[in-house]
């Protein structure tokens, strides 16, 4: 670490530059969302709240938002229901092929999403799953379960096995050990996993694009479609709302359970 002298200022400038590079585009949508123009331009010729007002009068986006929230909630519950037993089995059990199963369950993270999307399209078309809730839920589970599994396996890995052994030596059968000891101690990890799954689902565009239908779409896809046909600052206003929603969720969780620690990083 550079602690003093001109090097320190250079270092700080570099960090600031990196942050600007990463966050600049996101920050730019904030002023643009208050533009009075009818198209996205920089700098705006005037300021107004009219795109926020327009947003509320957009039925398509409203429905898409509702769909995204419902989808995210269902996917969160199901992803945890799948990942929790899998994580317990993978981190507490010893059986042949354990590493292979772990690799298989996290593999979807490594595939290009466009490939996954195409593959799902091909499979789903034959099953009548395109543009349907089950189709969307299945697709989102495919990409969110690996995240949930990773977080939960990490959480279980940091729980000392001796705590569970102590409970069992005190007379608790396996199920009691799980519900009285393991599960309560996993709470921060469960909340973190739920948050990540929800955000990934809420944010997902590429795969969802292949699967949505004319009557069922999600907010990111609806926004994408909107931008394709029009270029007014309405999308900026929606983006601001999405950024604020995500940020709020992350900050609240960080305060409540220490998100970074639950994900597996060092406590800050």
Pair 55, 238: CB distance under 8 Å: yes
Angle in degrees, CA 15, 17, 18, rounded to 5: 65
Q: What is the DSSP letter of 240?
A: H
- For residues 182 and 239, which CB has a smaller minimum distance to another protein in the complex? 182
Cβ neighbours of residue 138 closer than 8 Å, sequence gap 6 or more: 120, 124, 129
Nearer to another protein, 100 or 175 (CB): 175
- DSSP code per residue over 155-214: HHHHS-HHHHHHHHHTT--HHHIIIIIIHHHTHHHHHHHHHHHHHHHHH--HHHHHH-BT
Residue nearer to another protein on the CB measure, 117 or 189 = 189
- Least distance CB 249 / another protein (angstroms): 24
Closer CB to another protein, residue 67 or residue 155? Answer: 155
Nearest approach in angstroms of CB 173 to another protein is 5
Q: CB-wise, 5 or 173, nearer to another protein?
A: 173
For residue 31, give Cα distances in angstroms to 24, 189, 230, 237: 12, 36, 19, 9
Q: Report the nearest approach of another protein to the CB of residue 174 (Å).
A: 8
* Burial class of 14 by CB neighbour count within 10 A (0 to 12, 13 to 18, 19+): exposed
**Residue with smaller CB distance to another protein, 176 or 248:** 176
| Shortest Å distance, C-beta 99 to another protein | 18
Cβ pair 218, 68 in contact under 8 A: yes
Q: Which is nearer to another protein, 164 or 204 (CB)?
A: 164
- Chain positions contacting another protein, by CB under 8 A: 160, 162-163, 165-173, 176, 180-181, 184-185
Shortest Cβ 44–another protein spacing (Å): 53
Residue 107 host element (H or E): none
- 159-167, long-range: CB < 8 A, 24+ apart: 159/185, 159/186, 161/92, 164/92
Contact (Cβ atoms closer than 8 angstroms) between residue 32 and residue 44: yes
Residue 34 has phi, psi (to 5 degrees) of: -95, 15
Shortest CB 92 distance to another protein, Å:
13
Q: At its nearest, how many Å lie between another protein and the CB of residue 188?
A: 11
């Amino acid at each position: 670490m550079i602690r003093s002298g001109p090097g320190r200022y250079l270092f700080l400038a570099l960090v600031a530059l990196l942050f600007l590079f990463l966050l600049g585009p996101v920050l730019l949508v904030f002023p643009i969302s208050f533009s009075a123009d009818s198209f996205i331009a920089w700098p705006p010729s005037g300021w107004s709240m009219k795109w926020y007002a327009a947003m509320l009068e957009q039925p398509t986006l409203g429905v898409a938002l509702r769909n995204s929230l419902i989808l995210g909630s269902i996917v969160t519950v199901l992803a945890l229901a799948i990942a929790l037993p899998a994580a317990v089995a993978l981190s507490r059990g010893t059986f042949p092929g354990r590493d292979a199963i772990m690799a298989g369950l996290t593999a979807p993270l490594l595939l290009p999403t466009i490939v996954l999307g195409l593959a799902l399209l091909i499979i789903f078309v034959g099953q009548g799953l395109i543009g349907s809730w089950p189709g969307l839920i299945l697709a989102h589970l495919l990409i969110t379960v690996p995240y949930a599994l990773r977080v939960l396996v990490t959480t279980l890995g940091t729980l000392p096995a001796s705590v569970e052994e102590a409970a069992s030596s005190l007379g608790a059968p396996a199920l009691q050990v799980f519900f009285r000891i393991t599960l309560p101690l996993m709470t921060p990890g469960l909340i973190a996993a739920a948050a990540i799954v929800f955000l990934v689902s809420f944010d997902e565009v590429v795969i969802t694009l292949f699967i949505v239908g004319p009557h069922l779409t999600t907010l990111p896809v609806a926004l994408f479609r909107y931008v394709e046909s029009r270029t007014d600052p309405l999308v900026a206003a929606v983006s601001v709302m999405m950024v604020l929603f995500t940020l709020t969720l992350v900050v609240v969780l960080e305060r409540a359970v220490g998100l970074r620690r639950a994900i597996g990083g060092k406590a800050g």
